[in-house]
Amino acid sequence: MSSAKPVSKAKALHANLKRGRLEVEVNSSTFEPQALFRFAERRNPKRAFLFVSCVLGRHIPARPLLMAESFNALAAKIPADLPGPVLVIGMAETAVGLGAGVHRALAQTRSDSVYLCSTRHPTGSAVFARFEEQHSHATSHLLHMPQDAQSRAFMLAARSLVLVDDEASTGTTFINVCNALAEAGLEAIERIVTATLTDWSQDAVRQHLGHHVSSVSLLAGRYTFIEDVRAELPEMPDVGCVAQGNWPLDASCDWGRMGVREHRDTLAPDLQVAPGERVLVVGTGEFVWRPYLLAERLERAGADVHFSSTSRSPIALGHAIAHALSFSDNYGLGIPNFLYNVAPGQFDRVLICSETPAAALDQGLLRALNAQVIVDGH
């Protein structure tokens, strides 16, 4: 991807979906559009289409080095003159790892920054704010109050806010976050930056909230969806719950829900790989950042590594989705989870990483992939 030249001329792309035609005009892109995203179809009656990232390691397995390149490229676009402290927020579930990657890059020059991700998994500790993502398969988000005193102080005194998501369609979710934070008492914010891999929102957040808002992205454009009103609406699995499951989370093992300022690689420190071994590292749900750091380490050790994640996002087969596995979630919520574009036998070794005990993982998934479970203990 690093050899791709920026796209400066508008480029038209399209996809014919079961429920209509999606037409996209790419106005600017740091990399070739096809290197950044592909089309897919949601199993969601509220919105038919989905832009699937090729560099996120969520629905399409990606090499860690490629993912880091996108993290760093996006972080490099964030204005250097933001007044501090800087609060970086990543959106659950898809962008919690992207947000952490952007913060890791930003933190190299900003020691006054803290990262916090939204979540649909209450930890039992204090919730600072709640907001909605109306078009999503799971609309409600929580933001917890950081437990570490310095992280909490940075957040409450933040003068700049960086909101990270994989894509912005209308900008409504970003607007909802900003309103929720203001209502919760975050009163010192002077500058807001939205940072996305793909941005279709046409500067909507700035137009709604004011000139203190700016947007950065790896790709910007506009889309039109021409809906076929005769098409049958899909049934969406019930995946929207925001609750503690049968396997409660240990807040002391947190990696982002409670706020972090440093990113430590602590997962499976003694794991060894052979040079050239085809390894897939899989994060589970929102637990993706420490698994990603493990995947980076194994890639540096010489293995042929890809990273992916399980998801509660229901997506139809076709277009960017060539294969799908369905199984029970590992938090004990009783909802279906999915793993996309990973077929049994595709890799020499599959490592499924979890913040819940190994017993919480669906045994059918483990058997299908002949997978090894790695449980976070830090």
* 302 in Cβ contact with 74 (< 8 Å): no
Domain end (from 227, 242, 275) = 227
Could you tell me if 210 and 268 lie in one domain?
Answer: no
Taking the complete model, does pTM exceed 0.85, yes or no?
yes
Residue 2 pLDDT > 90, yes or no? Answer: no
CATH number of the structural domain spanning residue 65 = 3.40.50.2020
**Residue 236 included in any domain:** no
**Residue 202 included in any domain:** yes
Higher-confidence position of 137 and 189: 189
Instruction: Tell me the pLDDT band of 196, cut-offs 50, 70 and 90.
Output: very high
Residue 206 pLDDT > 50, yes or no? Answer: yes
pLDDT in tens, 36-94: 999 999 999 989 999 999 999 999 999 999 999 999 999 999 999 999 999 999 999 99
**Residue 155 included in any domain:** yes
pLDDT value at position 216? 98
Residue 18 pLDDT > 70, yes or no? Answer: yes
Could you tell me if 174 and 45 lie in one domain?
Answer: yes
Average pLDDT, the chain: 93
Could you tell me if 73 and 176 lie in one domain?
Answer: yes
Task: Tell me which residue of 229, 89, 85 sits closest to 159, measured CA to CA.
Answer: 85
Could you tell me if 110 and 210 lie in one domain?
Answer: yes
Could you tell me if 166 and 300 lie in one domain?
Answer: no
Could you tell me if 206 and 78 lie in one domain?
Answer: yes
Q: Which residues pair with 199 in a beta bridge?
A: 168, 220
Q: What is the 3-state secondary structure (H, E, C) of 108-151?
A: CCCCCEEEEECECCCCCCCEEEEEECCCCCCCEEEEECCCCHHH
Could you tell me if 136 and 268 lie in one domain?
Answer: no
Token pair for residue 245?
């499951």
Q: What is the count of structural domains for the chain?
A: 2
**Residue 159 included in any domain:** yes
* 339 in Cβ contact with 308 (< 8 Å): yes
CA 1 distance to own-chain centroid:
20
Could you tell me if 338 and 223 lie in one domain?
Answer: no
**Residue 258 included in any domain:** no
Instruction: Tell me the pLDDT band of 339, cut-offs 50, 70 and 90.
Output: very high
**C-alpha to C-alpha distances, 353 to 160, 284, 310, nearest whole angstrom:** 33, 6, 10
**Residue 185 included in any domain:** yes
pLDDT in tens, 223-268: 999 999 999 999 888 888 888 889 978 777 788 999 999 999 999 9
Residue 4 pLDDT > 70, yes or no? Answer: no
**Residue 257 included in any domain:** no
b/e per residue 55-79 (b: at least 16 CB within 10 A): bbbbbbbbbbebbbebbebbbeebe
Could you tell me if 271 and 331 lie in one domain?
Answer: yes
What number is the average pLDDT over the span 335-351? 96
Could you tell me if 118 and 172 lie in one domain?
Answer: yes
Rounded to whole angstroms, the Cα distance separating 123 from 127 reads 9
Residue 137 pLDDT > 60, yes or no? Answer: no
Q: What's the domain range around 19?
A: 11-227
pLDDT value at position 135? 52
CATH number of the structural domain spanning residue 363 = 3.40.50
**C-alpha to C-alpha distances, 193 to 38, 75, 78, nearest whole angstrom:** 25, 11, 7
Could you tell me if 189 and 277 lie in one domain?
Answer: no
**Residue 246 included in any domain:** no
What number is the average pLDDT over the span 121-138? 79
pLDDT value at position 1? 62
Strands 160-168 and 127-132, how do they pair?
Answer: unpaired
Token pair for residue 228?
């076929």
* 185 in Cβ contact with 217 (< 8 Å): no
Domain end (from 171, 202, 227) = 227
Could you tell me if 359 and 277 lie in one domain?
Answer: yes
pLDDT value at position 101? 98
Backbone φ, ψ for residue 236 (5° rounding): -100, 130
pLDDT in tens, 317-332: 999 999 999 999 999 9
pLDDT value at position 7? 56
What number is the average pLDDT over the span 180-197? 96
DSSP structural state of residue 302: T
